[in-house]
Amino acid sequence: MTSFDKYASEYDSWFCDNHNVLMSEVRLVAATLKDAPGPVLSVGCGSGLFEMIMRENFGINVTDGVEPSEGMAEIARKRGMTVAVATAEDFDYPAGKYGTIIFNGSPSYITDLGFVLDKVYAALPEGGRVILVDVPKESTYGQMYNLAKAVGTWDHPLLEGCYPMNPYPIEFVKQANWRTTAEKLRLLENAGFCGLSAMQTLTTHPLYSNLRVEEPQEGYYRGDYVAISATK
């Protein structure tokens, strides 16, 4: 059983408590998928929350997912998705079936991201796209999460007054391994991908990122949630 099985309800609850953060992130993901070749596979789809909102609010239909947590996968199925229970490393990516494979919020929970990207590259057709969306290690959120992970709690003097009212559940923080944007770019290039581009959101300090919904911006220099797209 993973932490995401044990705390599946907390995952959705956190996003409900941080609705503007959620919608900023959804807008970023929707922007990256707007012109992406289909069909789309969502790896690490969680509870299918993002996919449900994109379908209802943006007309973007992502029905297929991969998720290692049975508890999360069951919630996603109730939201209309077809979900295979597997890790990103173990999943057998079908050759030529998907035009785009997206990892939204999941790269930091993949132990061997380079291995997975090699498998994705082999499975995608020519012109297919991979999208990595996550918190960069070098970002304010990334540094805050790594500090909380190092001390094992949000309730620590070093973090006092520095994190949002409802921080990401510490159980999820402890499992993550955030990577820098530079590292993800390098892994994509090593796998053979080209045409790399990036979009970003959550450009204010985490204390204030839930005050309003942000529109996605080009680049990755300021955002605490960054989407990198690359083409085969």
pLDDT tens-digit readout, 141-176: 999 999 999 999 999 999 999 988 888 889 889 999
Can you tell me the distance from the alpha carbon of 150 to that of 146, in angstroms, rounded to the nearest whole number? 6
pLDDT tens-digit readout, 4-61: 555 566 677 788 888 999 999 999 999 999 999 999 999 999 999 999 999 999 999 9
- CATH number (domain holding residue 83): 3.40.50.150
Neighbouring C-beta atoms of residue 114, cutoff 10 Å:
14
Contact between 220 and 226 (Cβ < 8 Å): yes
Total number of domains constituting the chain: 1
* Domain encompassing residue 143: 3-231
CA proximity to 221, closest of 202, 195, 194: 202
